[in-house]
Each structure stands twice: as C-alpha cells, then as structure tokens.
Amino acid sequence: MDIQNIGMVGGGKMGKGIALSAARAGYSVIIHDITEEIASQSLLHIGQTVEKLVTKNKLERKEAGALLSRISCTGSYAGYDQLDLIIEGVPEKLELKMDVLAHLDTLCREDAIIVSNTSTFSITTLASATQRPQLFSGLHFFIEPTPLVEVIRGYYTSEDTVASVRAAAEKMGKTVVETKKDSPGFIANRVYTPLFLEAFRLYEEGVATIEEIDKAMENSYLPIGPFRLADIIGLDTLKSGLDYYRSELGESWRAPQCLSVLIRAGRLGRKSGKGWYDYT
C-alpha cells in the first residue's frame, strides 16, 4: 500500500513524537486524544517542539510551517475513515488496547493497516480484536533520540503489510528491525529486561547502591544506567510488562519487591517527579 495519511491514537509523549516524525517525512497525520481540550494541548506542545528545532537551526522556518500544516489533533475520530495507516499508542494495558483496536476496526477503511506501538503484548492477541489480522502488525517505536523501530509479525500478518509498515518507518528515518516470530517483548525488550531485573536484584540484595550500579554500567557497556532508563520508561509500565512476561515465559520474570514498593508509593519515574531517583 502507498501510505499517505496516518492516524496516531494517543497523544502522549510517545504519540506526539511519532506524529512529528511522520509529518517531517511528509505524511499527513491526525492525532486522536481523549478530549478536544487535551488535543489542543497536544497541538500546542508540538508547535513548541517545532519552534525549538527552528531556534536550534535543526529546521528551516519555512519547513516548520509546512510540517505543522500536516498535523491535526482531535478529540474525536473524525477523518479516520480516510486513513491508510493507523498507529495505536494508548497506555500498555491489554484490555484497553483491545477495546481501542476493536473500535478502530469498525471505523477505518477495509484496506487500512492498523499497527500497535506496544512494547510488550502479543501481536497475534491484539490482532484478534479486529477483523483484519492480515492487515495488522506491531510497529514498536522507542523513546527519542533512539532511532530504532521494531516491525513485529502476528500469526496472520501478510508480507505486503510488513513491507508497507517497514517502508513507512524507514521514510521517517528510522532504523528498522523485523521480528520473524511473535514473542513477548520482541527483540530489544526481551534482551534488555533481564538486565533491569538483575540490576534491581543487586540493589535489593545490598550488593551496591542505585547510583553505583548505574555508574558501573554507564562507564562500561551502556549509554544510560538501568535505573535511570527505568525512570524514563515509567516504573508502572515496566512492572506491567514484567507481569505479562511472567505469565507467558515463567517465574524468572517476576518483578522484584523493591519495584512494587516504589509503585505503591507513587514513585513512577520522571513522569511523577520521583522514581528510583528524585527529579523535583
């Protein structure tokens, strides 16, 4: 499919970032938010982000105006029946995603591709909420400035669908990897999550402090320590993923008690101002 028009369901930090990448690549983008008021705030925030790019000489003023003209935000699903590709980017809650995807399936053209930005859940399971499993895949974007995007096949995902979503991501300037088999966590999270777990356990066992573990990893193998990265991702999001991995892959993926304690205390990471570290 020749993709021209894209819908982004969910205007959070990730959703706005994906929409901006798509618009910079020349796509027309509609962002759906919960209410018109929130949608207006999303559009304002995108405008501020674009203005910063202009100020830093990373974007020409004329290009910025054209880019913003390609983005609209709405509290409804107006225009979604005209879209070629719809990206679901609501919070990592399986039931919520299934409900949203089932609704999208009734709104969109029969030949439209629907993808999920999930970092965790089975694409085959998510596709079952729709009547178009062959036109459904995972398209997992990462937090900027990481350029990686994972294209994930569900059991019924067609080759044409994979080719179309891969081409769209590459047009956005992303580095694309493809998973050949639907598996929890896909590639990057499946490899990286055990590192989180081991770091948390080292701290829980009193082997080293949070700061020392992060310092060790940042000065040896990683650009950012596991505790700092966990705070960026969101500890509740991380815990939700671990609970799902445990249900699918076994007890070795159980979330450590120290993570659960922080979540109960409302320390969810950067978004709440406090996580493993304090940001306020």
Q: Which pLDDT score is estimated for 280?
A: 85
Given a contact cutoff of 8 angstroms between Cβ atoms, the answer to whether 276 and 230 are in contact is yes
Which residues make Cβ contacts (< 8 Å) with residue 120, sequence separation at least 6?
A: 92, 184, 185, 189, 240, 241, 244, 245
| Confidence check: pLDDT of 10 > 90 | yes
Question: Per-residue DSSP letters for 194-223?
Answer: HHHHHHHHHHHTTSS-HHHHHHHHHTTT-S
Q: Which pLDDT score is estimated for 145?
A: 75
Q: How far apart are the first and last CA of the chain?
A: 47
Residue in this structure with the two tokens 């969101």, named with its chain if needed = 234
pLDDT digits (tens, 9 = 90+) for 218-259: 999 999 999 999 999 999 999 999 999 999 999 999 999 999
Q: Which pLDDT score is estimated for 146?
A: 85
Active site residues per annotation:
119, 140, 150, 189
Q: Report the alpha-carbon distance of residue 5 to residue 25 in Å, rounded.
A: 11
Q: How many helices (H) and strands (E) does the chain have?
A: 11, 8
Q: Which residues pair with 72 in a beta bridge?
A: 30
Nearest to 193 by CA among 255, 139, 269, 236: 255
Q: Report the alpha-carbon distance of residue 108 to residue 35 in Å, rounded.
A: 20
Q: Which pLDDT score is estimated for 16?
A: 93
Backbone angles phi, psi at 33, to 5 degrees: -120, 175
| % of the chain at pLDDT higher than 70 | 100
The pTM for the full model equals 0.92
